[in-house]
Amino acid sequence: MADSSVVSSRLHSRWAQLTIGILCMGLVANLQYAWTLFVVPMEAKNHWGGAAIQTAFSIFIVVETWLVPVEGWLVDKFGPRPVVLIGAVGAALGWVIDAHATTLPELYAAAVIAGIGAGCVYGTCVGNALKWFPDKRGLAAGLTAAGFGAGAAVTVIPIGNMIQSSGYEHTFMFFGIFQGVCIFVLGALLVRPKVPANVAVLKRLVSTKVDYTPGQMVKAPVFWVLYLMFVFVAAGGVIATAQLGPIAKEYGFAKLPVVLMGLTLPLLTMTLSIDNLLNGLTRPLCGFLSDKIGRENTMFLIFIGEGVALLGMMQFGHDPYAFMFFAAMIFLCWGEIFSIFPATCADTFGSKYAAANAGTLYTAKGTAALLVPLASVLSTGGSWDAVFISTAVISIVAGLSAKFVLAPMRRRWIANTAIASDLEASHFRQWPEGSHE
């Protein structure tokens, strides 16, 4: 009995709960990051057209992101466990339907179901991290988001190999069931966050003491500045995630064998593996950095870096190794938005409704995903220059906005709310409840 009590206590610690969340995120990551491996074989068999197949990807992203506020509300109300269990079922069922899809409507229905599943897992795990770690929001959100960014790096090679050996249908079926079962088991171990009494928010960070509901948050102009910046930066990364396969094929070296550190793989498979690792690494790294030097300072450096990487891909990407390098830089400078933006949101609008609030901001990723089919249209004729230039420009604009627009707005917002909070507290000290009736 004593041993089981110790195990239960350890599972209920905030670091154990963070670890469970990271694992769940890694398992659901393939729904997004391995998708590009399935596009070409699906087109070769069904002849649906690249843009039509990528519409399924956009539907998945939109559903995954735009329902997260609802899923976050459910987490805030009922706790993390039931929401993640529902997510596990959706994550499995989506890919099982993909395995049997013979029409585009079936493919799109699978995208909706998979999007619901991924959103349930993502929104829950990020919200939990923000609540468990008010003192290390950037790092905790970064580690959690790293699971989503780097999780696919572990499986992208076996998925690619299985598609080659057994076909994309069998791969969808096997990994769909495997991922769903594992998430379900882990989700059953999640508990409501309970922050230790000695944990406090870092004083060097600009952070509010007031908890705002999602309804109150969306009325604040600073929220919409955050939202627009998220859309700008997410656009480049989401387009790259979906289009790396078609770009590499169009450039003529998707299956070209490349050697790196003694390992020989097709160029696209090697690129995706590196990209997913860096996409995961940057989230806790930049989250930790933002805890140290401030959210907006980190945004300024990294968002401009993404713009430069996109321009580098345009200029030098026809060389196979330059393609690999600049693709890696795009992911390195993109993935951190999934740690910095949730942390900034919780800093600005409080911890109590962190899951729903971060979920509301996360819908910006869905808005950015609407640009994925547009990228296919812009690239008609074989040139991706218009895509790279437009996404680079908006990334650089977002970096400049972080430093010169968002930072002063957030400082004013938090200073004003602090004054209002102090006045309210002073009122209640002067007039205890019921004394003025």
* Residue at 378 is within a domain: yes
Tokens 């002849």 sit at which residue? 47
Tokens 């154990």 sit at which residue? 16
Q: State how many domains the chain has.
A: 1
Range of the domain at 188: 2-430
Higher pLDDT residue, 252 or 289? 289
Residues 306/307/310/312 CA torsion (nearest 10 deg)? -100
Region at 359 (left for phi over 0; alpha for psi -120 to 50; beta for the rest): alpha
118, amino acid identity: A
Is residue 330 within 8 Å of residue 243, measured between CB atoms?
A: no
* Residue at 139 is within a domain: yes
Does this model's pTM top 0.85? no
Closest CA to 287 of 45, 105, 22: 22
pLDDT at 309: 93
Mean pLDDT score of the chain, rounded to an integer? Answer: 84
Tens-digit pLDDT profile for residues 136-163: 888 998 899 888 767 777 788 899 889 9
Tens-digit pLDDT profile for residues 260-318: 777 777 888 888 878 878 877 888 999 999 988 989 999 999 999 999 999 998 899 88
pLDDT at 49: 85
* Residue at 30 is within a domain: yes
* Residue at 119 is within a domain: yes
pLDDT at 404: 95
Region at 137 (left for phi over 0; alpha for psi -120 to 50; beta for the rest): alpha
Element (H, E) at 152: helix 137-166
129, amino acid identity: A
Percent of the chain with pLDDT over 70: 88
255, amino acid identity: K
Angle (CA) 212-213-214 rounded to 5° is 120
Is residue 68 within 8 Å of residue 190, measured between CB atoms?
A: no
4, amino acid identity: S
Closest CA to 297 of 289, 305, 306: 289
Q: Give the whole-angstrom CA distance, residue 161 versus residue 168.
A: 10
Name the pLDDT band for 423 (thresholds 50, 70, 90).
low
CATH number, residue 249: 1.20.1250.20
Question: Over 60: is that where the pLDDT of 79 sits?
Answer: yes
Closest CA to 72 of 375, 351, 388, 293: 351
Tens-digit pLDDT profile for residues 16-40: 999 999 999 999 988 888 888 898 8
* Residue at 435 is within a domain: no
For the chain, the distance separating the N- and C-terminal CA atoms, rounded to the nearest angstrom, is 54
For residue 273, report the phi and psi dihedrals to the nearest 5 degrees. -65, -50
